[in-house]
Amino acid sequence: MTRIKYVLALAATLALGACYPPITTHPVGTTAGLKLDPVLSGTWKGTNSDGKPFYMHFLQQSDGTLVVVIVETGPKAEDWTVVTATTATLGANHYMNAQLQWTNGKPENAPSGTVPVLYRMDAKGTLTFLLPDEKTVKDAIAAGRIKGWTEKGDLGDATITADPKALDAYFAAAGAAKLYLNPLFTVHKVD
């Protein structure tokens, strides 16, 4: 089982020792085209599950990808994380294919796939990120609704291996949002 060490946004907001979130071997959205979502650019601020405030800086890259620099702030701030991502819109769903790169300046040994993070913006400009629920993804794989495999045991990681066409068709459907049960965190734009 792949483990991640630190508690920070996106993949890293999981508690210490938690499983790595479900990943896809292909990014979500390649058949529709991975396009930078300009809404995300700039600086956002939120509070993580430890109650620590953090900043997220989204940097657009010339190759159409995003670099996301996430830094805890305030007293007892400990961690900073860098994530690379691509974004795509499928149907009504906005996805960020995220991959953890560094934590506190050290390279992460993250799986080679990407985490399909769902994000939503409400009318007040609050941005909510959701991770796919591991058990729900495992159930979908077991039921044959999406191709993939899971490691043995309750803590085994789940990997969705569907080809790009099948993957995008699945994640474009309205039902795909059912994979995402609980908000990971919310942020609001500050700059």
Partner 1 sequence: MRAILAAALMAFALSACVAVKEPIGTSVGYANDPALEGTWRGKSAEDKPEGYYHVVLNDDATMTVVGYAPASGDDKASWGTLTLTTVALGPNRYMNVRETGENGGPPKDRSAGESIPLLYRIDGGKLSIFVLDEKKVTDAIRAGRIQGTITPSKVGALSIDQVTITADGAHLDAFLKRADAPELFTPVMTMHR
Instruction: Using alpha carbons, select from 125, 144, 149, 139 the residue that is nearest to residue 178.
Output: 139
Task: Confirm or reject binding of residue 51 to partner 1 (CB under 8 A).
Answer: no
Task: Confirm or reject binding of residue 59 to partner 1 (CB under 8 A).
Answer: yes
Task: Confirm or reject binding of residue 109 to partner 1 (CB under 8 A).
Answer: no
User: From the list 63, 122, 154, 191, which residue makes contact with partner 1 (rule: CB under 8 A)?
Assistant: 191
Sorted by sequence, the CB contacts under 8 Å of residue 175 that are 6+ apart come out as none
Instruction: Using alpha carbons, select from 107, 56, 52 the residue that is nearest to residue 78.
Output: 52
Q: Is the dihedral of CA 189, 90, 87, 3 positive or negative?
A: positive
Segment near partner 1 (CB under 8 A), from 8-16, 74-82, 120-128, 148-156? 74-82
**For residue 92, how many other CB atoms are within 10 A of its CB?**
11
- Look up tokens 């941005």; give the residue: 127
Burial (CB < 10 A; 0-12, 13-18, 19+), residue 17, is exposed
Task: Confirm or reject binding of residue 102 to partner 1 (CB under 8 A).
Answer: yes
Task: Confirm or reject binding of residue 42 to partner 1 (CB under 8 A).
Answer: yes
Sorted by sequence, the CB contacts under 8 Å of residue 152 that are 6+ apart come out as none
Segment near partner 1 (CB under 8 A), from 55-63, 140-148, 170-178, 179-187? 55-63
User: From the list 15, 33, 51, 105, which residue makes contact with partner 1 (rule: CB under 8 A)?
Assistant: 105
Residues 121-180 that bind partner 1 (CB under 8 A): none
User: From the list 3, 49, 64, 77, which residue makes contact with partner 1 (rule: CB under 8 A)?
Assistant: 77
Segment near partner 1 (CB under 8 A), from 12-20, 77-85, 113-121, 140-148? 77-85
List interacting residues with partner 1 (CB under 8 A): 41-43, 55, 57, 59-60, 62, 67, 69, 71-75, 77-80, 82, 101-102, 104-105, 191
